Structure 1
Amino acid sequence: MALQMRDRCERCGTAALAADGPARICSYECTFCEACAAAMGQVCPNCGGELVPRPRRVTSA
């Protein structure tokens, strides 16, 4: 099963999340920008899980 690479922060909805840029996810793949993750203390508001760096996906040129 492939990791869902969401392109917007689930909290603020305005931060664009590039596949090769920084983002934070929980084990359920809830996805947040770095600023929102920091504001939430690196804890997912949906499941209470730890927010960790999302792997980056290299985009093809």
Structure 2
Amino acid sequence: MLEIRPNCEHCNKDLPSNSNEAMICSFECTYCKTCAIEIFENVCPSCAGNFVERPIRTSEMIAKYPISTKRIYDPKDLEKAKFNADKFREIKPENR
């Protein structure tokens, strides 16, 4: 089950559970759309996977399966992220 993390790991922007701005990779690294697409160019700086929009959990399901309250704030080294993006951006995610 997804943790539904509450913030962007790079810029610390709040990403409430109903946010359309939240992007995740297959390891649930969580970023806002600006960081995921514009800064990291759809290449996760941690695992080199791609990003997809995080699904929204309904309030009824949040009551039953609470979302994470643990904030992860770990700004990435932009030079390393740029190297990673340059290396993988042109390779389709299924071929990385």
- Please tell me the TM-score bracket, short chain as reference: 0.7 to 0.9
- Structure 1: gaps (5+ residues): none
Q: How does 1:18-57 map to 2 (within 5 A)?
A: 18-22=16-20, 23-38=22-37, 39-57=39-57
* CA distance, structure 1, for counterparts of residue 14 and residue 58 of structure 2: 16
The separation in 2 between residues aligned to 1:58 and 1:34, in whole angstroms, is 21
> Alignment identity in percent?
43
The structure with more helix, counted as a fraction of residues: 2
Aligned residues: 58
* Structure 2: segments with no counterpart, 5+ residues: 61-96
Q: CA RMSD in A?
A: 1.1
Q: TM-score, normalised by structure 1?
A: 0.86
Larger Rg: 2
State the TM-score, normalized to the length of structure 2: 0.57
4+ aligned runs moved over 4 Å, structure 1: none
